[in-house]
Structure 1
């Protein structure tokens, strides 16, 4: 089987509100893919920027995957949250980015979005926290249902990924 190695990090974020920010990530795979080794989800530590608007996480990603074809190429689903001084956790944004299909080092920027509520929900969110969240993460990467959501742009998540492809030509898998 053809193999893909993903080695890198969720390096940080920018453009989010000034609070303790952390990110949950999940690897989304198609049906012909198998995880050989590595963890397919994780959460960064919370970081609060003192000097500017960028936070730094440097959370490692190290995955070894095998596949029979390129259909269902891996994606990273990202969920960014903020934690206030009282320990309450609120959604800041959702995002999805495809893992690059070209070998080498890649610096990626994933733009995120969040659902918009009613006027009352947005006022409550601004002063008390909370706000609309998705009940299922399927809407993050599925465009068939996401078009019905009312959303607003959030910040950006920065990733550094190294991609190694092995035996794609040997098994007739073209990319």
Structure 2
């Protein structure tokens, strides 16, 4: 039998909630961005949530509890997967506009992790363009939201902070040590979220690794 030459990373969790004090009726889109050596063997690479209304209490909290789940295989940690999230709503004219972008790497250590991610939006280059964009309902936005996971061109893009979201991750890794890779336990990791069903899923995926090499 050929020696296994890939490792697996399984992640599931939720985009739980967010705070955007100035807006209401928001929904999210997410996608995973990864290097060319990575392949998604199960789960969804992107998705779109339901529309959420802001809570009527003092928190003003948007609650989505939108699930995310994917299993990756790779032989190279370069291009470690990132989660990209964009938030959308409507303006006073009924136009769909972006309310925020953010991204973060999938945690590299097994266990349960929580992240609070600040959102940002592109800014118009002048006050005149800002007014015209507001009047016509064409606010600045990225053609491809995945661009926020890369550094190219970011130094010339004007942005401002706007709200944040909370995301939880449950991460399982397999066979990384066999390939000489090791991870240092993260201080933000809490109790292990490895369940019997999750372990059975990762074993089931690993059975196909020999017959489906990179």
What is the TM-score with the length of structure 1 in the denominator?
0.90
Confirm or deny that 1:65 pairs with 2:72: yes
More displaced 10-residue stretch of structure 1: 113-122 or 130-139: 130-139
1:171 alignment partner in structure 2:
179
- Normalising by structure 2, report the TM-score: 0.75
Match of 1:53 in 2: 60
Distance 2:7 2:32 in 1: 18
Q: Name stretches of at least 5 consecutive residues in structure 2 with no aligned partner.
A: 1-5, 184-214
1:153 aligned onto 2:161: yes
RMSD over aligned CA atoms reads 2.0
Report the structure number with the largest CA radius of gyration.
2
- Number of the residue aligned with 1:144: 152
Higher relative contact order, structure no. (Cα contacts within 8 Å, ≥ 6 residues apart) = 1
Aligned to 2:99: 92
Q: Which moved more, 1:156-165 or 1:137-146?
A: 137-146
Seen in structure 2, the aligned counterparts of structure 1 residues 11 and 138 have a Cα distance that, compared at 3 Å, is closer
Which residue among 21, 43, 51 is the counterpart of 2:48?
43
Q: Distance in 1 between matches of 2:64 and 2:21?
A: 14
Shift of 1:33: 0.8
Structure 1 runs (4+) deviating above 6 angstroms are none
Structure 1 residues 100-150: Cα deviation after superposition (integer angstroms, max 9, x where no partner): 101110111111111111213434566774411122335312223111011
Determine if contact 1:91/1:130 at 8 Å carries over to the other structure. Answer: no
Bigger share in strand: 1
Separation (CA, whole Å) in 1 of partners of 2:136 and 2:55: 23
Aligned position for 1:17: 22
Contact 2:37 2:75 in 1 (8 A): yes
Residue 130 of structure 2 corresponds to residue 113 of structure 1 = no
The size of the alignment, in residue pairs, is: 175
